[in-house]
Amino acid sequence: MKHIAILGSTGSIGKNTLQVVRNLKDKFRVTGLSTHSQWEFLAEQVEEFNPSHVALSNPQLAEKLKHRLSYNQTEIICGNNCLKDIVLKSKADIVVSAVVGAIGLSAAIETVQAGKILALANKEALVMAGNIVMPLAKKNQILPVDSEHSAIFQALQSGKQNEIKRIIITASGGPFYDFPADTLAGVTPAQALKHPTWRMGQKITIDSATLMNKALEIIEAKWLFNLEAEQIDVVIHPQSIIHSMVEFCDGSVIAQMGMPDMKVPIQYALTYPEREGLNVEPFDLPRIESLTFKKPDLEKFPALKLGYLAAREGGTIGATLNAANEIAVQAFLEKKIRFTEISFFVEKVINNHRFIKDPCLEEILEADAWARQEIKKCLT
C-alpha cells in the first residue's frame, strides 16, 4: 500500500488523481490533501478519503473547515508553509504536485529532498528552477504527469540517453490555431477558455491558447530529460492522439498514443514501473480516421519563441517568463489586456530583466518577484 499526498486536490489534475486512486483502492491510500479556497469540496474529499493531514492555504477559510470537520481526526494545516508541511507530515511515499503556478516550487524541492517520489503536473516548478530541482533528484524520482512528458518518458524506455536524436512534442494548437493572425487581438477570455480536446484549469487553458503552455513544456522537457534546446521540436497535432515522440539516432521514431485522458499519465506516474488496468475510451483508429500535423507558426504564436529562448539560454529567463505570464494571464481573464498582449508583455519583461546565467534559488525567487512587479507596470 503506497501513501499519496495530492497538492491541489480540488483542481482538474487533483480530481483526476483521486479518480485513479478510487479505482486502485487496494494499492493506494491518500494521506494528505491540499487546496487553496474550495474548503467545502476539500471537506467532502476528507470525508471520502480520510487523510491524516490536509492543508488549506487561504487562512481566512481555515476556521470554516475546522468547524465543518470538528468531529474528524484529520489534522488541518494552514499558513504560508502548508504545502511543504503536507509533504512531510502526511508521510507520503508519492507527492502529486497539481497546484498551479510558482507556488508549487518549494513543495517540489521539499519532496525531492525528502527522498519521496514527485509525480509532477506543476510544470512551473521546473520552468522556474530546473537547475535547482533536477540535481537534487535521483533517476526516476521525478515522474512526469504532463501528458507529453509522460509520452516521452514512456518512449525513452526504447533506447538510451546517448541514442536520442530529438524529441517531438505534440500540441493541439488550442482554439485559435487556424484563426487569421489579425483577429487574435480581439478574442475574448470565454473563447480562449474553450479548449478543443482537453478540460483543464483556467490558467493552463489560456496557456494552451497562446501556446505558452508549449513554451513551458519545452523548458520542462529540457530539464526532465537533460536535452539541448536544439533537440526539442514541436508539431501541431489537433487530434491530441499522439501525445509526443522520441526520434533515436537510427531514425526510429517511438510515439506514445491514446485517447486524450489525463488519468492515463497520472496513473502511470503513480504505478511506475508497473501498469494497472484503466477504463479509458476505446482507441478506435477508423473512427478517428486521420491524424494530421502542421508546423507551428512562431510569428502568430510568439510565446513559442520565448520557450526556445528560455530553453537555450537558461538562467533566470524561465522564472521571469513564468512569473510575467502568470500575471498576464490573470489580467487577460479580467479583461485588462488583449490576448496578444500576453506574449507581447512577457517578452518585454524578459528583455528588460537582469539575466543571471547560473542562479541560486534566492536569485530565482528574486527574478520571479521582480517580473511580477515589472509586468504590472505594463498593465496600468
The residues binding ligand NDP (CB under 6 A) are: 8-14, 35-38, 57, 98-100, 103, 121-124, 146, 198, 200-202, 204, 262
CB of 51: closest distance to ligand NDP in angstroms?
Answer: 14
Q: Nearest residue to ligand NDP, using CB?
A: 11
Report whether 359 contacts 315 (CB < 8 A).
Answer: yes
Location of C-alpha cell 508539431: 235
Q: Nearest residue to Mg ion, using CB?
A: 146
Q: Is 124 in the site for Mg ion (CB under 5 A)?
A: no
Binding mask 146-165 for Mg ion (x = CB under 5 A): xxx-----------------
Among residues 13 and 137, whose Cβ is nearest to Mg ion?
13
Specify the stretch interacting with Mg ion by CB under 5 A; choose among 139-147, 158-166, 176-184, 318-326. Answer: 139-147
CB of 79: closest distance to ligand NDP in angstroms?
Answer: 11
Pick what 57 binds: ligand NDP, Mg ion, none; C-beta below 5 to 8 Å, kind-dependent. ligand NDP
Handedness of CA 149, 155, 156, 162 (dihedral sign): negative
Among residues 10 and 131, whose Cβ is nearest to ligand NDP?
10
CA–CA separation, 149 and 112 (whole Å): 18
DSSP run (H or E) holding 9:
none
Pick what 10 binds: ligand NDP, Mg ion, none; C-beta below 5 to 8 Å, kind-dependent. ligand NDP
CA–CA separation, 374 and 362 (whole Å): 18
Among residues 200 and 246, whose Cβ is nearest to ligand NDP?
200
CB of 151: closest distance to ligand NDP in angstroms?
Answer: 12
* Cell numbers that stand for 134 in this block: 533536477
Among residues 42 and 350, whose Cβ is nearest to ligand NDP?
42
Q: Which residue stretches of the chain are H helix? A: 12-23, 39-49, 59-68, 82-89, 105-113, 124-136, 147-155, 189-192, 202-210, 212-225, 263-271, 285-288, 303-313, 317-333, 339-352, 361-379
CA–CA separation, 16 and 26 (whole Å): 18
Concatenated DSSP letters for 141-183? SEEE-SHHHHHHHHHGGGS-GGGEEEEEEEE---TTTTS-GGG
Pick what 123 binds: Mg ion, ligand NDP, none; C-beta below 5 to 8 Å, kind-dependent. ligand NDP
Report whether 110 contacts 87 (CB < 8 A).
Answer: yes
Among residues 48 and 230, whose Cβ is nearest to ligand NDP?
48
CA–CA separation, 248 and 227 (whole Å): 13
CB of 208: closest distance to Mg ion in angstroms?
Answer: 8
CB of 250: closest distance to ligand NDP in angstroms?
Answer: 31
Among residues 159 and 189, whose Cβ is nearest to ligand NDP?
189
CA 344 centroid distance within chain: 22
Q: What is the DSSP letter of 34?
A: E
* Cell numbers that stand for 9 in this block: 486536490
Among residues 100 and 167, whose Cβ is nearest to ligand NDP?
100
* Cell numbers that stand for 106 in this block: 518549494
CB of 69: closest distance to Mg ion in angstroms?
Answer: 34
Pick what 198 binds: ligand NDP, Mg ion, none; C-beta below 5 to 8 Å, kind-dependent. ligand NDP
Among residues 19 and 352, whose Cβ is nearest to ligand NDP?
19
What number of other Cβ atoms are within 10 A of residue 113's Cβ? Answer: 13
CB of 194: closest distance to ligand NDP in angstroms?
Answer: 15
CB of 98: closest distance to Mg ion in angstroms?
Answer: 13
Given the rule CB under 5 A, which residues bind Mg ion? 146-148
